[in-house]
């Protein structure tokens, strides 16, 4: 569960956000959380790293490896300050960076692929009201499809409208699937070493059997998360999937990559 400090900060931020006009997190221009100028000047600086833990090899593509103020602040706003209105901005950023990837890198996300967002524990999902990784997955799905799905799709705006959403009741799109559950309320990763992070996440995920039973021949499973730091979360999730789907290729994509020693404002490690 979120701590009292987290709840208080979120409440405070929400009050401030309803009083102050919306401003660009990077330059302060009034109008949107990221202004047109800053979005135009944000470019993909992608990197593929291959994580190798416990015989699991996981290629991870990060759309943005340079941890700029804009990326830091927009993720913080959406993820920790719970400003759900920033979902459209997050999606525009993801889609712009994705379209700038070299064709070779984009190809991995278009052919017989399903997107699997890293899930939140139910208690955190209820508190935040949405899963930021799902928003990113939704943006990727739309962009990689080359069109906006209107049928049987988790529309993010509808999703956000239901603040106390039960994610398990959202129908699975055939390419965006809640294949994992977060079964453990893991402690914060803040300040933990790489080894401690792996330990902290052991057995954190379980397979969503209902979704698993409905899977039809996906060759590639794309795990989606907002930020990769040590990769512990992605590796733990990939381990569960690899056991059940040994013949599927598993890759991961994140919006950003953050250094282990990076501490965002308010002492929260992204
Ligand atoms: Zn700006």
Give me ligand 1 centre to Cα 106, in Å: 27
Handedness of CA 140, 146, 151, 155 (dihedral sign): positive
CA distance linking residue 258 with residue 177, whole number of Å = 26
Cα 87 from Cα 84, distance rounded (Å) = 6
pLDDT, tens digit, 9 for 90 and up, residues 240-253: 999 988 889 999 99
CA of 101 to the centre of ligand 1 (A): 22
CA distance 233 to 192: 13
* pLDDT at 267 > cutoff 90: no
- 177: confidence class by pLDDT, cuts 50, 70, 90: very high
Instruction: Write down the residue that tokens 């603040």 correspond to.
Output: 163
pLDDT at 152: 35
Give me ligand 1 centre to Cα 194, in Å: 34
- What is the Cα–Cα distance from 215 to 248, expressed in whole angstroms? 11
Give the pLDDT confidence score for residue 6 in this predicted structure. Answer: 66
Ligand 1 centroid to Cα of residue 63, in Å, is 19
Predicted confidence at residue 91, as pLDDT, reads 96
**Whole-angstrom distance between the N-terminal and C-terminal Cα of the chain?**
18
Percentage of the chain with pLDDT > 90?
44
- What pLDDT digit, counting tens, does each position of 128-176 carry? 889 999 999 999 998 887 544 433 333 444 444 333 344 544 445 678 9
pLDDT band at 10 (very low <50, low <70, confident <90, very high): low
Between 101 and 216, residue with greater pLDDT? 101
Ligand 1 geometric centre to CA of 161 (Å): 27
Q: Separation of 178 CA from ligand 1 center, angstroms?
A: 34
Ordered by start, the domain boundaries in the chain are: 44-67+102-267
Cα-to-centroid distance, 88 and ligand 1 (Å): 15
The rounded distance, in Å, linking the Cα atoms of 88 and 64 is 18
Q: CA torsion sign, 247 to 141 to 160 to 152?
A: negative
Phi/psi of residue 72, each to 5°? -55, -50
Q: What DSSP assignment string belongs to the chain?
A: ---HHHHHHHHHHHHHHHHSPPB-TTT--BTSSS-HHHHHT---B-EEEEEEETTEEEEEEEEE-S--HHHHHHHHHHHTS--GGGHHHHHHHHHHHHHTS-HHHHHTTTSSEEEEEPPPPHHHHHHHSS-HHHHHHHHHHHHHHTS---SS---HHHHHHSTT--GGGSPPBTTB---EEE-S-PPP-TT--HHHHHHHHTT-EEE-HHHHHT----SEEEEEEEEESSSHHHHHHHHHHHHH-TTSEEEEEEEEE--TT---GGG---
Separation CA 83–CA 87 (nearest Å): 8
Look at residue 192 and tell me whether its pLDDT is greater than 80: no
C-alpha to C-alpha distance for 198 and 196, rounded to whole angstroms: 5
Ligand 1 centre from 36 Cα, in Å? 7
pTM: 0.82
CA of 14 to the centre of ligand 1 (A): 21
Ligand 1 centroid from CA 160, angstroms: 25
User: pLDDT tens digits for 229-240?
Assistant: 888 899 999 999
Ligand 1 centre from 135 Cα, in Å?
A: 22
pLDDT at 261 exceeding the cut of 70? no
């Amino acid at each position: 569960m979120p701590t009292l400090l987290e709840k208080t900060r979120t409440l405070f931020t929400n009050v401030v956000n309803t009083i102050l006009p919306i401003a660009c997190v990077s330059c302060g221009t009034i109008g949107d959380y990221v202004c047109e100028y800053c979005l135009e000047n944000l470019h993909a600086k992608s990197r593929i790293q291959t994580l190798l833990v416990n015989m699991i090899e996981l290629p991870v593509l990060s759309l943005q490896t340079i941890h700029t103020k804009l990326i830091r602040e927009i993720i913080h706003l959406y993820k920790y300050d719970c400003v759900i209105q920033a979902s459209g901005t997050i999606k525009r950023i993801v889609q712009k960076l994705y379209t700038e990837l070299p064709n070779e890198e984009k190809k991995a996300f278009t052919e017989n692929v399903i997107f699997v967002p890293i899930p939140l524990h139910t208690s955190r999902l209820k508190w935040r009201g949405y899963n930021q990784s799902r928003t990113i997955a939704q943006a990727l799905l739309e962009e990689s499809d080359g069109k906006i799905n209107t049928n049987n799709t988790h529309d993010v705006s509808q999703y956000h409208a239901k603040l106390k959403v039960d994610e398990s009741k959202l129908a699975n799109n055939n390419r965006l699937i809640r294949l994992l559950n977060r079964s453990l309320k893991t402690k914060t990763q803040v300040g933990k070493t790489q080894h401690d992070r792996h330990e902290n996440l052991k057995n954190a995920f379980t397979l969503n059997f209902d979704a698993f039973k409905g899977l039809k021949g996906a060759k590639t499973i794309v795990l989606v998360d907002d930020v990769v730091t040590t990769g512990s979360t992605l590796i733990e999730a990939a381990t569960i999937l690899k056991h059940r789907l040994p013949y599927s290729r598993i890759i991961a994509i994140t919006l950003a990559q953050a250094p282990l020693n990076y501490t965002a404002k308010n002492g929260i490690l992204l």
